[in-house]
Structure 1
Amino acid sequence: MKRLLICFFFLTGVQLAQAQYYKTDTATRKGFDPSRLVLGGSLGMVFGDYTNVDISPLVGYRFSDYIAAGVNINAQYGQNKWWEYDRVTQRDKYTIFGGGIWGRVYPLPMVFIHIQPEYNFITQNTTYYPQNAEKQTYKTNYGVPSLLVGAGYTQSVGGRVGIGISILYDVIQDRRSPYNNNLVYRVGAGLGF
């Protein structure tokens, strides 16, 4: 943990030293500026007894050096197998599709505070495999709100292209939330961060 904090403060210091690179002259520009568009998102994949494929693009606009906002889309497929010794006893399959809006405040040039209200539509199929009976499948459809709040860090990799990491938490904590009671870790790449 101590090493992680030292690395974080070192990278923050390097970014503060280079901060003038990211400043733009907003006083001379009026109206829509295409160089302030933010395009990006994240892609995640986990395979095994727990499988999840997540595609989450986002688009937005950097209104100033300190504020950005936009819209996001969530698309996920997942599957979870429950084992008892050497056989599967239950399998859950789900799809999630939704979206929302997001906003960021940059107190430091590369450090941001993130807020993201969203609404997801979830379809879930649960199949039970009793030992001496036929399998039983149940299908449910529902919608669930989430409010992700957290912070992150972006690092330029050249020009306006950057890589970002963030840690978020769903503060609403609906019992059917796809985020459960866990921290949400996101790593992504984008343009205009």
Structure 2
Amino acid sequence: MKRILVCFFFLVTVQLAHAQFYKTDTMSHKGWDPSRLVVGGSLGMVFGDYTNVDVSPLVGYRFSQYIAAGININAQYGQFRSRDYFGNTLQRDKYTIFGGGVWGRVYPLPMLFVHVQPEYNFISQSSTLYDNSGNKQIYKTDYAVPSLLLGAGYSQSVGGRVGLGFSILYDVLQDDRSPYRNSLIYRVGAGLGF
């Protein structure tokens, strides 16, 4: 049950930027329109043998009823602890991720969108191995890795410029060191401006 809850909270990190239908007259203004500004991002926290803290803001602009785009920043800290049958720590892995990129969305229908997000992340990892005699070995590595997240989603307005949404993304580049591994990325959230 604990693993199911950890997975649930990990998958339901809040992404505060999902679509909302705009009336045609709102999109008919030319030039800069502050009401088209999109502000959001993701915020997630999981604690325990697997710990993950994710703070990833984004900002963008809704160019029309059909197109929105902007920039995002990724900042994550994570830790995983492996234990033996008696509860002793065998290995502890820690990582930090910092990076960012751009994102874009196309809305073929007011509630459905296609999402594209190329990004570049700098990752710092350390693994500590423990043996029965109390000795430990530490291995550290730093690297940078590109990702290209593609996917789709659904959003629903809940009033004014606020919307709730759900999206499924996948890293199509699948670099061996990608923080997204070979798995789907689920995002559920609420947002302002989409």
TM-score interval, normalised by the smaller of the two chains? 0.7 to 0.9
Classify the secondary structure of the residue corresponding to 2:38.
strand
Partner of 1:156: 157
State the Cα distance separating 1:27 from its structure 2 match. Answer: 7.1
Q: Please tell me whether the aligned partners of residues 40 and 188 of structure 1 are also in contact (alpha carbons under 8 angstroms).
A: no
**1:83-112 deviations in Å (ceiling 9; x for gaps):** 221221110011101100000000110111
When Rg is computed on C-alpha atoms for both structures, the one with the higher figure is: 1
Partner of 1:68: 68
Unaligned runs of 5+ in 1: 1-18
Partner of 1:40: 40
Q: Please tell me whether the aligned partners of residues 41 and 188 of structure 1 are also in contact (alpha carbons under 8 angstroms).
A: no
**1:13-32 deviations in Å (ceiling 9; x for gaps):** xxxxxx9x632326741111
Distance 1:126 1:26, change over 3 A: same
TM-score (norm 1): 0.85
> Which range moves more in the overlay, 37-46 or 89-98?
37-46
State the Cα distance separating 1:139 from its structure 2 match. Answer: 1.4
**1:116-141 deviations in Å (ceiling 9; x for gaps):** 00000111111000123511111111
Could you list the structure 1 runs, at least 4 aligned residues long, displaced by more than 6 angstroms after superposition: none
Query: Mapping of 1:90-109 within 5 angstroms?
Result: 90-109=91-110
Partner of 1:57: 57
Query: Mapping of 1:154-193 within 5 angstroms?
Result: 154-193=155-194
Count residues with an aligned counterpart. Answer: 174
Partner of 1:12: none
Q: Please tell me whether the aligned partners of residues 27 and 65 of structure 2 are also in contact (alpha carbons under 8 angstroms).
A: no
Which letter does structure 1 place at the counterpart of 2:145?
V
Partner of 1:23: 23
**1:121-162 deviations in Å (ceiling 9; x for gaps):** 111111000123511111111101000000111222220011
Which letter does structure 2 place at the counterpart of 1:148?
L
- The CA distance in 2 between the partners of 1:97 and 1:189, in whole Å, is 23
- The CA distance in 1 between the partners of 2:28 and 2:72, in whole Å, is 30
1:124 aligns with 2:86: no
> Which range moves more in the overlay, 24-33 or 109-118?
24-33
Which letter does structure 2 place at the counterpart of 1:41?
G
State the Cα distance separating 1:167 from its structure 2 match. Answer: 0.8
Distance 1:29 1:88, change over 3 A: same
Q: CA RMSD in A?
A: 1.6
